[in-house]
Every structure is written in C-alpha cells, then in structure tokens.
C-alpha cells in the first residue's frame, strides 16, 4: 500500500506549452512534489509506465494523441492513479469527456497554481483514505451481491470483478457504507472530493453514469444506483434485499 507521503513524491505533468509547464512544475516542486514532465502524449504514457506516478496533471490539447486518449491509456496502465485534466475556459464538453474517460477531476485554465496543489492533495487523501473505516467487516463492505474490498481496492458484483477508478471506488464506498441513505450531490461531492472543493455538481452525475455503465445490465434502467429526483442518489433496494 502506497502511503500519502510516498504518493506525494511523483506527479506527472503533461503540458506541451513550455512556459505553462515550467510555471506549474516550479509551483509543484515548491509544494514538495517530484515532477515528471512530458510535452506530448506518447512520452506521458511511457513515463507513467516507467515511474508509476501518484497523480497525473494532463492537458487536453496535446500534439499527436490528445489528452483524452492519453487519459484512457494511463488509466489502463495505472487504474489507481489520480488524473486531473486541464481544460480551456468555457469548454464544458472537454470537462465532461475527460470525466467520462476516467479522469478524477479537472481544472479550467487559467487557474491559481495553489488551487491545483490543493486539488492534487485532495485526490491523494481520497486514495489514502479508501482502506479506512473498516470496523469488524474484515476489510470488506457488502451490499446484496456487491462486495467492496477496501484493503485490495477491488470491487465485485457476485464473482465478477469490476474495475473502478479511485473516485468511483470512493463513491461506492460512501453509498455502501449507508445503503439506506439518499445522498445529495453536495454530500457526495463533500465526502469524495472534500469540503473545500469548488466544482460543478455535474461532476457527480458523470461519475455516477460511469459507475452505472460498468455495474448495471441496462444503465437506462438502473437496478443498483437509483436517482432520487431533485435530490441525489442512493442504492436501490436497501431494506428489501440486503
């Protein structure tokens, strides 16, 4: 298990504009991160494979393969890495696309580098906290046929293992710890991203949709995570077949 202090050692920064990349890198280094730099997607994927960073800061617009493809490739190599995508102001589709393809978070350019540092730390804390709150459940949470292995960070539907990103894992942990509770989008965001996270609530909806695509037989008619209209989300069937 990688500790938070160990995770803070390596951040992969993928940005093709040299002045922007150097500016971000200096601020990350001042915050005690070791920064790996890449100017294109191919280099980023190779660095991710070689050095196993804890977090990836990934620009959408890159020469060669774009940030979306890089996100998918790195997510395959490192399922548990925290990926934060950098998008242009007003490009809502870029934000949604990045989240759909496996990113955990996004930042809109231009941004305060201190906020980026805070976002990285929040995502790493989220990763570090996943194996906690075990009680007497022997490192697993169960709900109907679902099992969340907190120590191994693995998720099962029956005997089928389903690969989740760290953010998706944290959302399922929240829902499965209190299966009868309906959570508002704000509650989910505060628990998973942290109280000081200032992001769009659509981020929650995108991650729920991604989980449904992996978990549900028919995502258009969910049998596991139900929408509480005008409120938020809860697990379906709590109190009926738990």
Contact 168, 62 (CB under 8 A): no
Total number of domains in the chain: 2
Q: List, for residues 40-61, the tens digit of each pLDDT value.
A: 999 999 999 999 999 999 999 9
Residue 241 belongs to a domain = no
> For 151-161, what is the mean pLDDT?
87
Whether the upstream peptide bond of residue 11 has omega within 30° of 0, thus cis, is no
**CATH value at residue 79:** 3.40.50.2300
Q: 128 pLDDT band (50/70/90 cuts)?
A: low
Do 118 and 161 sit in the same domain of this protein? Answer: no
In this prediction, residue 171 carries a pLDDT of 94
Q: What is the pLDDT of the chain when averaged over all its residues?
A: 85
Q: List, for residues 98-116, the tens digit of each pLDDT value.
A: 888 888 888 888 888 889 9
**What percentage of the chain exceeds 90 in pLDDT?**
48
Q: 9 pLDDT band (50/70/90 cuts)?
A: low
What six digits make up the tokens of 89? Answer: 């102001």
Do 161 and 217 sit in the same domain of this protein? Answer: yes
Q: H or E stretch including 168? A: helix 166-177
CA distance 149 to 228: 27
> For 65-75, what is the mean pLDDT?
93
Do 50 and 154 sit in the same domain of this protein? Answer: no
Do 155 and 204 sit in the same domain of this protein? Answer: yes
Do 89 and 164 sit in the same domain of this protein? Answer: no
Q: List, for residues 83-95, the tens digit of each pLDDT value.
A: 999 988 666 787 7
Q: What is the dihedral of CA 176, 181, 184, 185, to 10 degrees?
A: 10
CA distance 178 to 208: 16
**CATH value at residue 163:** 1.10.10.10
Residue with tokens 């997607």: 41
Top-confidence residue, 2 or 66:
66
Do 95 and 151 sit in the same domain of this protein? Answer: no
Residue 135 belongs to a domain = no
Do 171 and 123 sit in the same domain of this protein? Answer: no
Q: List, for residues 113-126, the tens digit of each pLDDT value.
A: 889 998 898 888 76
Q: H or E stretch including 206? A: helix 202-215
Do 123 and 149 sit in the same domain of this protein? Answer: no
Do 177 and 149 sit in the same domain of this protein? Answer: yes
What six digits make up the tokens of 209? Answer: 């949709």
Residue 48 belongs to a domain = yes
Q: List, for residues 163-192, the tens digit of each pLDDT value.
A: 898 899 999 999 999 988 999 999 999 888
Residue 134 belongs to a domain = no
Contact 11, 35 (CB under 8 A): yes
In this prediction, residue 136 carries a pLDDT of 42
Do 175 and 219 sit in the same domain of this protein? Answer: yes
Q: Which residues lie closer than 8 Å to 63 by C-beta, 6 or more apart?
A: 16, 39, 40, 41
Q: 10 pLDDT band (50/70/90 cuts)?
A: very high
CA distance 120 to 106: 10
Q: Which residues lie closer than 8 Å to 71 by C-beta, 6 or more apart?
A: 58, 83, 85, 98, 101, 102, 103
Contact 131, 1 (CB under 8 A): yes
> For 204-215, what is the mean pLDDT?
92
Range with the largest mean pLDDT of 7-11, 74-78, 98-102 = 74-78
Residue 76 belongs to a domain = yes
Do 149 and 221 sit in the same domain of this protein? Answer: yes
Show the domain range for 182: 140-235
Residue 21 belongs to a domain = yes
What six digits make up the tokens of 63? Answer: 């020469």
């Amino acid at each position: 298990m990688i500790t938070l202090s160990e995770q803070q050692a390596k951040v992969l920064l993928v940005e093709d504009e040299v002045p922007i990349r150097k500016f971000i890198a200096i601020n990350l280094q001042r915050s005690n991160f070791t920064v790996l730099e890449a100017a294109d997607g191919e280099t980023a994927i190779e660095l991710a494979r070689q050095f196993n960073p804890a977090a990836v800061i990934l620009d959408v617009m890159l020469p060669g393969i774009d940030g979306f493809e890089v996100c998918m490739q790195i997510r395959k190599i490192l399922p548990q890495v925290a990926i934060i995508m950098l998008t242009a102001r007003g490009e809502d589709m870029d934000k949604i696309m990045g989240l759909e393809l496996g990113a955990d978070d996004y930042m809109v350019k231009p941004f305060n580098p201190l906020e980026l540092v805070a976002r990285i730390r929040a995502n790493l804390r989220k990763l570090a906290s996943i194996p906690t709150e075990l009680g007497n459940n022997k490192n697993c949470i169960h709900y109907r046929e679902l099992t969340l292995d907190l120590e191994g960070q693995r998720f099962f539907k029956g005997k089928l293992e389903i690969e989740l990103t760290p953010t998706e894992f944290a959302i399922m942990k929240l829902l499965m710890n209190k299966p009868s509770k309906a959570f508002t989008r704000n509650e989910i965001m505060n628990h998973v991203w942290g109280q000081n996270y200032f992001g769009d609530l659509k981020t929650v909806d995108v991650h729920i949709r991604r989980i449904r695509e992996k978990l549900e037989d028919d995502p258009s008619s969910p049998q596991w995570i139900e929408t509480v209209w005008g409120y938020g989300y809860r697990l379906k069937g709590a109190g009926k077949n738990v």
